[in-house]
Amino acid sequence: MRPVLWDFRLLNRGLRGWARLGMTNRMDAWPSGLNLDTCHLILGTSRLIGAVRNSDTWSVRVEIFAPGRDTCPLMRPRLLLICAAAALLASCRDERITTYRVPKEASSPAVPAQATAGTVAITWILPAGWTTKPDPSGMRKGSFLVSGMDGAKADVSVTAFPGDVGGDLANVNRWRGQVGLAPIDEAAFAQSVQTIDGPAGKFSFVELSGGTAAGGAQKPVRMLGAWLQQPDQRWFFKLMGDDSLVTTQRDAFLSFLKSVSFAATPVAPPVVAGREKAQSTNDLPKAPIAPFASGTMPDGNAIPAPGESAASQAALTWTAPGDWQAEPLSAMRIGSFAVSSDAGSADISISAFPGEAGGLLANINRWRGQLGLDPIAGGDLAGATIAFDGAGGLHFTVVDLSGHTGGAPARMLGAILSFEGQTYFFKMTGPDAIVAREKPAFFDFLKTVKAP
């Protein structure tokens, strides 16, 4: 059998939040594993209305009950009679299309290649190993992640503000607070600031270390900060992270500063915003918005910082074996390694998605599809997977699959872990010889995965 292809198409959506879906499943025969449970996993509550076979295509009509937030109890026909008057006033007020005219917002693209700010365009050259990362606050002109060995991480940010933003001393003292250092006075400040010449002008530069991040783990942190006055704005460049990593990245940061240049350009018309901006932003889809627990504030006990909740995606920690090479992280990878030998190289990826991410069966069948294997039914799940207990009570569901990718034999070790509302995927793929050799190392690696 060929792999399952899904094609969902929304046909209708009624008042009560019902939707009918047309689904075609190009299969030679109705697969035993494909039943309503499969739909249930992916779509929420669903109901099979009927299935029709047209030559080699199955058309299935499914009704899904998606009680979306648009569900408006007062819109139910039977209740309309009872509460027509209230319905006029009540919660349906958000159903209308509204129009308004607003002044244009200053655009602040998250993409560094060419950030426009007013009439000035800034460009720079990224050092090797720096990857663009999403900016939950939306205020950065540039946002990068630097990853080192053993999970060491550092964050690079580029921001710009009009005016002097409270003065250099206040700003450096704010930075000092972020690395857990006490504030300094004007005299000490004057001594600590160095000047770096670049094509863009004279950068003021400070190096701060010795403290630990405020509220964070007790790891020593280091910060390199620089600022540069431009006619209309003051630009801030900051590298902050684990002490050892930032120390090794010092030269890279300085060469990054020297690569910065400003070019006067006309105000970017909205037309150019289009494609390139959109593309590059979408390398890094935005993390779901921070939790909105109403009532958090009145207690006064805990105010979740949105930045922190965005970072909770990487809440787990792990230690990779020595011969695994750390690879740059990408949009959906929160961990990436490669291991190679004469037999070729295997790729190890770690990713995380909110919720069940489609469910265990759907994901294992997705992996099976990647190796050209037939999907399995829900009943066969127990026989096809290995339960593996990691450290600290973490339970992994592991599969070991052999198949083909692109005509070449391939093997995959995959582990799925559900942890605090996220589903984590650990996956090693490569030629059979190397994956077989690395299998013990993969399980040892899973044992190093720990909750913070």
Cα Rg of the chain, angstroms: 27
How many whole angstroms separate alpha carbon 21 and alpha carbon 60?
8
Which two three-digit tokens encode residue 74? 């007062």
Task: Answer yes or no whether residue 330 interacts with other proteins by CB under 8 A.
Answer: yes
Residue 448 DSSP class: H
149, 297, 386, 451: residue in contact with other proteins (rule CB under 8 A):
297
Per-residue contact flags (x/-) with other proteins for residues 302 to 321, judged by CB under 8 A: -xxxxxxx------------
Task: Answer yes or no whether residue 229 interacts with other proteins by CB under 8 A.
Answer: no
- Per CB under 8 A, contacts with other proteins among 195-224 are 214-215
- Per CB under 8 A, contacts with other proteins among 148-177 are 161-162, 165
Query: CA-CA distances (angstroms) from residue 389 to 175, 396, 427?
Result: 42, 6, 17
10 Å CB burial of residue 95 (0-12, 13-18, 19+) is exposed
Task: Answer yes or no whether residue 378 interacts with other proteins by CB under 8 A.
Answer: no
Task: Answer yes or no whether residue 49 interacts with other proteins by CB under 8 A.
Answer: no
C-beta separation of 430 from 437 below 8 A: no
10 Å Cβ neighbour count for 45? Answer: 12
34, 38, 58, 109: residue in contact with other proteins (rule CB under 8 A):
109
- Per CB under 8 A, contacts with other proteins among 259-278 are 267, 269-271, 273-275, 277-278
Which span (192-200, 221-229, 327-335, 394-402) binds other proteins, by CB under 8 A? 327-335
Number of residues that bind other proteins (CB under 8 A): 106
Task: Answer yes or no whether residue 286 interacts with other proteins by CB under 8 A.
Answer: yes
Task: Answer yes or no whether residue 44 interacts with other proteins by CB under 8 A.
Answer: yes
Place of tokens 């990826």: 349
73, 183, 379, 409: residue in contact with other proteins (rule CB under 8 A):
73
Task: Answer yes or no whether residue 356 interacts with other proteins by CB under 8 A.
Answer: yes
48, 49, 217, 289: residue in contact with other proteins (rule CB under 8 A):
289
C-beta separation of 152 from 247 below 8 A: no
Calculated CA dihedral for residues 251, 256, 257, 263, nearest 10 degrees: 160
- Smallest Cα–Cα separation from 403: which of 423, 378, 430? 430
Per-residue contact flags (x/-) with other proteins for residues 10 to 29, judged by CB under 8 A: xxxx--xx-x----------
